[in-house]
A and B are shown apart, each in its own frame.
Chain A
Amino acid sequence: MTDNNFEPTIIGFTCNWCSYRAADLAGTARMKYAPNVRLIRMMCSGRLDPTFVLRALSGGADGVMITGCHPGECHYIEQNYKALRRFHLLRRVLAGLGIEPERVKLVWASAAEGAKFAAETTAFVEEIRKLGPLGWGKGEEKDEGGRIKDEDSSFITHPSSFGEEVSA
């Protein structure tokens, strides 16, 4: 199912104090890593509302990477543990919705771990490439009012197995 030309779109949420600096370090050290990730900096991984992840997935992202300081090293003492708990519950909910939980990844990276950040990003892009496009943000044409446009395909014609004769 994997399209050879498929380039995953990844949204990455990084915390200001560790993982964004790790990304910065990877950049200043000119380390090469997959260009598929779009980073969004927030003050802390604990700021990550699961809504952001769902919004990314429903808007066309194929995967979401959440990064934060190592456990015990949070700039705000323990907020990365909150991120960890949300991440675990979010993955369970996504699995129930039919989305591979592997599409959301949590990475701890300190400000010194530019190489780790680059390697984890590249590895994640390859994992998502194997999973293929999610495509939940596509195929919904909307009209001016933001409503999903009608299409004949939105109603099923019953599969042929339903077409058996009804006994009179």
Chain B
Amino acid sequence: MTAKPKFAMYWAASCGGCEIAVLNTHEKILDVDANFDVVFWPVAMDAKYKDVEAMEDGSILLTLFNGSIRNDENERLAKLLRQKSKLLVAFGSCACEGCIPGLANLSPVGDIVHTAFNTITTDNPHGIYPRTSFDVPEGELHIPTLAKVVRPLEQVVDVDYFMPGCPPESHQIAAVIDLVIKVVKGEAELPPKGATIGVGDSTVCDECPRARNVKLIKEFTRIQDIAPVDPTLCILEQGVPCNGPATRSGCNARCPQAGAQCIGCYGPAEGVMDYGARLITAFASVVDATTPEEIDRILDGIPDPTGQVYRFNLAGSLLKANREAWIKG
């Protein structure tokens, strides 16, 4: 019997939801075990970085990399796994476009550390901050050093495929696993390099069953402030900023179907160069006003426009929000 192809999964700056989404494929996970030799998956099995370092370059067939690049450890592992893997997949929104961790790029990293260790909810009477290295009798100890900005995987290493979602939907993961197994058996071909996989080819609105009429609204509001939410009418038309118009399909419009606005976790739809810009266009087109004063009054209903239109995409946006600006500060 020939050796099974090798599989790895790693988490960088992420919440662990992507791993849960993989486990949510239920019995499909057994197919992974049946067809692959799982060599590295810190959340599921014990393995050391040095074990990976000892592997031959390109010896891992498939690596699912979730999480963004927040610190030097993330970056080291991204480069290591790139070197050892034939196929490196940016798995989940963090690895694809920065996701929620990417919102940290709106603040200088010093402010972030300060907030974490010195706010009213933190019991830190002596104002002690972590150090990245510390001398002990046995030698020098290190903890990872924060990078100035959060970066998606693609801004650090070459990526073969992108699989967005926060987390990717389990049925999409199952479909991708099936495809890779078929490829291994020679029954199917891989999509072209750089492709976004496990997704639809349109927008969330296209999958959403809610009725769209002529969208014009006099007021933006929050979903919790309208009761009850009309179960059949477009959520944006009800005045709630819904990110569906710019977001890639693939989730079967899960949130709108459940009565909540789309928050955009599947990232920019095909052909969208900047996610936020597309949403600016979408939101601006529903504003029912022609004077600057009235437009401003309506837009006041979106309290955090930047966070709204770049909730998942900030680190992957055109401006990346930004490197140089914060490096100066």
Contacts and interface: CB of A to CB of B under 8 A. Distances in A.
Interface of A: 49-51, 53-55, 57-58, 71, 78, 81-82, 84-86, 88-90, 92-93, 95-99, 135-136, 138-140, 145, 147-148, 153-159, 161-167
B277 A51 contact: yes
A89 B322 contact: no
Contacts of A98: 106, 321-322, 325-326
Contacts of B23: none
Contacts of A50: 274, 276-277, 280-281
Interface stretch (B8-16, B29-37, B290-298): B290-298
Nearest to A71: B290
Which interface residue of A71, A78, A85, A154 has the most chain B CB atoms within 10 A? A85
A159 B327 CA distance: 13
22 contacts: A49-B281, A50-B276, A51-B278, A51-B318, A54-B317, A55-B274, A57-B319, A84-B292, A86-B281, A89-B305, A92-B306, A93-B309, A96-B304, A97-B306, A98-B106, A136-B325, A139-B323, A140-B323, A145-B158, A154-B148, A158-B113, A164-B128
A36 B146 CA distance: 39
A92 B299 contact: yes
A78 B156 CA distance: 44
B284 A96 contact: no
A88 B283 CA distance: 11
A167 B125 CA distance: 12
Contacts, number: 149
A97 B296 contact: no
Give me the 9 closest cross-chain CB pairs, A-B, nearest first: A96-B306, A85-B284, A50-B277, A162-B129, A51-B277, A86-B284, A92-B305, A54-B318, A50-B280
Interface in B105-145: 106, 109-110, 113, 126-132, 134, 145
B20 interface: no
A155 B106 contact: no
Contacts of B317: 54
Contacts of B319: 54, 57-58, 97, 99, 136
Contact of B324 (A96, A138, A158, A161): A138
Which interface residue of B284, B285, B317 has the most chain A CB atoms within 10 A? B284
B287 A164 contact: no
Interface string B254-283: 000000000000000000011011101101
B280 A89 contact: yes
Contacts of B292: 84, 88
A33 to B, nearest CB: 25
Nearest to B275: A51
A139 B320 CA distance: 13
Contacts of B299: 88-89, 92
Nearest to B272: A51
B47 interface: no
A85 B285 contact: yes
